[in-house]
């Protein structure tokens, strides 16, 4: 597709470890389509691109006119209800979350709903990043958020298959349920 990655990110090294072939991907924090295009190019059946920035949404809508399988949702995700509604409406097998603090709401989601997708890829952030984007951050720091995700994944039967520190307080976690491929 040839989209210049958001912030110069190397999309393949960041999200390339996900097996999305033939799967529905929920892409929360889709920016202007960097990851959506990448997932479609990797064989995703469909990508539900969730974004709140109006400029990015307009670019995603233009892309959706040209790319089969791209669904655009204009939404500022801030609550467990937002995540539950997205999981219920689109039934994704893969959930990618990179939204500077909105990932905190995933932890409030009850385990039954949280456990529906086979694979999660989450970039966790610190309180400053969340504050900058207007998202709540109910934890004392980024490390506490990371620990709560590790506990949530364990309790819900997921295996953490990637856990790496990124720049600043960001971390990337991949977790797959049971023996799901990923």
- 60-80 tens-digit pLDDT: 999 999 999 999 999 999 999
pLDDT tens-digit series, residues 16-38:
889 999 999 999 999 999 999 99
Give the chain's domains with CATH numbers: 27-75 (no CATH), 86-182 (3.30.110)
Sequence-ordered strand ranges (E) for 29-66 = 46-51
| pTM of the predicted structure, to 2 decimals | 0.90
- Provide mean pLDDT across the span 101-111: 93
The pLDDT-based confidence of 4 (bands split at 50, 70, 90) is low
Say if CB 62 and CB 84 are below 8 A apart: no
What value does the mean pLDDT of the chain take? 90
SS3 (DSSP) at 74: strand
The pLDDT-based confidence of 3 (bands split at 50, 70, 90) is low
């Amino acid at each position: 597709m040839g989209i210049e990655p958001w912030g110069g990110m190397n999309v393949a090294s960041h999200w390339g470890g996900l097996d999305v072939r033939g799967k529905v991907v929920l892409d929360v924090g889709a920016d202007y389509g960097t990851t959506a295009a990448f997932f479609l190019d990797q064989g995703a059946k469909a990508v539900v691109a969730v974004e709140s920035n109006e400029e990015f949404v307009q670019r995603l809508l233009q892309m959706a006119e040209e790319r089969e399988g791209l669904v655009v949702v204009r939404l500022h995700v801030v609550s467990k209800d937002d995540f539950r509604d997205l999981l219920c409406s689109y039934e994704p097998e893969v959930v990618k979350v990179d939204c500077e603090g909105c990932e905190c709401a995933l932890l409030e989601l009850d385990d039954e709903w949280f456990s529906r997708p086979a694979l999660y890829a989450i970039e966790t952030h610190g309180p400053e990043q969340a504050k900058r984007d207007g998202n709540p951050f109910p934890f004392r720091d980024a490390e506490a958020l990371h620990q709560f995700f590790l506990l949530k994944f364990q309790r819900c039967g997921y295996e953490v298959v990637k856990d790496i520190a990124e720049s600043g307080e960001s971390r990337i976690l991949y977790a797959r349920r049971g023996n799901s491929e990923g």
